[in-house]
Structure 1
Amino acid sequence: MGCCRRNFNTDEFKAWLSTLHEEQPGTEFCIKEDDQKETYNYLKDNLFGQIVVWNNSVVEEIITDRTNNEQIFYLHYEMEDRNQIKELIKSFKRRMFCVCQKEYEVSEDDGERNILLCCSSGLTTAMFAQMLQDFSNNNHLPYHFSATSIYDDDTLSKEYDLVLMAPQVQHYTKSMAAKYHKRFLIMNPVDFAQYNCNNIVSRVQEVFL
């Protein structure tokens, strides 16, 4: 991790954040700073987007619908992998500036699937795993979702049909697949950030059906 951070140009990253709103007519932009963080604010139509860069190298991406004050997009991650961060910021930009995401269709399936969600701590994915479980139950799909940390060797060593990786830890996928000899799938950042159960389950079905 340390090597990645040393190679990461924080000033270059912040300069890029200051240009995300360009070529987006009608977007208001400002930066707010305090002792702990810098917050890049984007306001367009009814959406209020924030990218928060903390001094401890943690980044938060937040989009709120101003019509009902509902948070509709959230990601957090550490500044570790340059290519991964570019993809995560591009996902924020696509959602913030209303580029339509494809909605997939869920199919019938009577095969039982044990599916494990992974992120850095397991806390974010634990909530999402329960949402996916509820969605599967409501759609009469015999899928079983659970969640854990990428560091939980005991859980990862158990039998699972598929491991879903949170986008903020996707750079661990190759090494984990080699270690645990399981099928891995990286969740789409926009679907993950919006807890889009329909699209995640549909992508899971592409693996099996």
Structure 2
Amino acid sequence: MTYQFKKILLICSGGLTTGCFVEKLNETIQFIKSKCLFPGNWIEKIEEVSKKYEIILLTPQVSYYCALLQNKFKNQVVLKIPTRIFVTYDAIKLIDYLKINNN
């Protein structure tokens, strides 16, 4: 089973927990043989890095920016990572969540 996502950015406030989740996501993607990468970056850098990505995922720490960013980045999908998925680093559930919510 392969997933068609290619350019997905995780946005966070500080990076420590997100860095661990990004690592887990990328390991999972290699395991399921998908050709996408999940980089992470800080909310302060979203303006300069967001244009390269089709999907922007917001960690729970910055999820309150979701409506603002959905209005600003109308050509991209902006989603909140569900807290339960994020705190458990459940990469498979996040990939499934993306399949369902990637309009």
Q: 2:55 — aligned with what? A: 162
Q: Which has the larger strand fraction?
A: 1
Spell out the pairing of 1:113-132 with structure 2 (5 A cutoff). 113-132=6-25
Match of residue 91, structure 2, among 189, 193, 197: 197
TM-score, normalised with respect to structure 1: 0.45
Give the distance between the partners of 1:207 and 1:189, measured in 2 at CA: 16
Spell out the pairing of 1:142-181 with structure 2 (5 A cutoff). 142-152=35-45, 153-156=47-50, 158-181=51-74
Q: Which has the larger helix fraction?
A: 2
> 3-state SS of the aligned residue for 2:37?
strand
Structure number with larger C-alpha Rg = 1
* Number of matched pairs: 101
Deviation at 1:112, TM superposition (A): 4.5
Where relative contact order (Cα < 8 A, 6+ residues apart) is larger, the structure is 2
For the structure 1 residues 120 and 160, does the alpha-carbon distance in structure 2 shift closer, same or farther, using more than 3 Å as the test?
Answer: same
Gaps of 5+ in 2: none
Contact 2:2-2:32 at 8 Å conserved across structures: no
Gaps of 5+ in 1: 1-107
Letter in 2 for 1:150: I
Q: 1:66 — aligned with what? A: none
TM-score, normalised with respect to structure 2: 0.85
Give the distance between the partners of 2:5 and 2:84, measured in 1 at CA: 27
